[in-house]
Amino acid sequence: MVASSRWGGSSSRPTLSRAGKTASYALAAVLALTGAAGVARADEPVVDSAAEARQQYGMGTQAFSQKRYSEAALHFEAAASFKASAIALYTAALAWDLASRPERAADAYGRALEVPGLDAKQTGIAKDRVAALEKSLGTVVVTAPEGWKVQLDTLTEVPAPARLHASPGVHTLTVRIPSRPIERRDVTLDAGKVTNLELKDEPAPAPAAEPEPAADAPATPTEAPPPRLREPFWNTMRVIGVGVAGVGVAALGAGAILGTSANGAKEAYDAGPSRAAFDHASSLETWTNVALISGAVLVAGGIALVVVPLGDKSDGSVRVGAAPGSVVVGGTF
């Protein structure tokens, strides 16, 4: 049977005299004119802790009667969080016991013993159950500054100091410190043994300042730019230039041979003038001039392609031309 608790208060309402009503009306007028600074805002509802505690306790009683023991225990603990009550914690411990959660039952029995309100029989039962459960459970007693809260694994979070229970092994203790990040640490518990853990408010270490460089320290050498790659001498343009010059040399050689033949034809015409000998001598002279001029132009162009550097950023140009009896090469660089 769930232990009963009395959460309500007196239902009688005091009456105001005529003088009291007049004073209250005057006070209301003053508050309205001055902005009523002490009146709660509509968007900030005030939680009635006693009403919430009664509601949670009622929901726990209903769940307990329907044998939903874990749900009932959570409602009883919620009721105790709104309004401290040894009876609420005691009934939560009974529910955890029936739900086969010995570690949570031991926690709730221990918390119930710390709050006044249990009778002698309930106090004796709570002490006996804590002693029996701690024989098979590991116990950690956590002490910490006021305002700190601790939680073992996913069990109920409680304010420190606290006596927490869990099965033997390694567990996680979560520490909630006001205005600081949540801290976690591992705790090893042994069956039937009590581990004492004292938490202290130690200031966080200041970040280490970077050492200043010495006044006579050598300056950090700057990284030298990568060496510039040299352009290879033989490129496409120069190879073409050599080829063109070679063709020009061949043309000059052919012109020399044709010139020799033209001289011979001219001597033959002088020895015995005829129309055929004249035409032959004239033709050889013409081809000789064409070969010599073409060869000279090609040689000059090939040399220009070899000599002028590839990719020159100047706007210079090379001009190769032919004049009667000569070759002209000109340009700007």
pLDDT digits (tens, 9 = 90+) for 127-138: 999 999 999 999
Ranges of each domain in the chain: 47-133, 135-201, 236-332
Mean pLDDT of 157-172: 92
Write down the pLDDT at residue 24: 44
- Model confidence at 20: pLDDT above 70: no
pLDDT band, very low/low/confident/very high, at 66 (cuts 50, 70, 90):
very high
Write the single-letter amino acid at 253: G
Write the single-letter amino acid at 152: L
Residues 227-242 have pLDDT tens digits of 665 666 667 777 787 7
- Model confidence at 15: pLDDT above 50: no
Write down the pLDDT at residue 291: 75
CATH number corresponding to 135-201: 2.60.40.10
User: Higher confidence at residue 323 or residue 208?
Assistant: 208
Assign domain 47-133 to a CATH class. Answer: mainly alpha
Lowest mean pLDDT among 84-98, 210-224, 277-291, 297-311: 210-224
> How many of the other CB atoms lie within 10 Å of CB of 103?
22
277-285 LR contacts (CB < 8 Å, sep 24+): 284/258
- Model confidence at 39: pLDDT above 50: no
- State the Cα–Cα distance between residues 237 and 243, nearest whole angstrom: 10
- Model confidence at 216: pLDDT above 70: no
Mean pLDDT of 78-96: 94
Stated pTM of the model:
0.50
Burial 216-251 (b: 16+ CB within 10 A, else e): eeeeeeeeeeeeeeeeeeeeeebeebeebbeebeeb
Residues 239-264 have pLDDT tens digits of 787 787 788 778 778 778 877 887 88
pLDDT band, very low/low/confident/very high, at 298 (cuts 50, 70, 90):
confident
Write the single-letter amino acid at 333: F
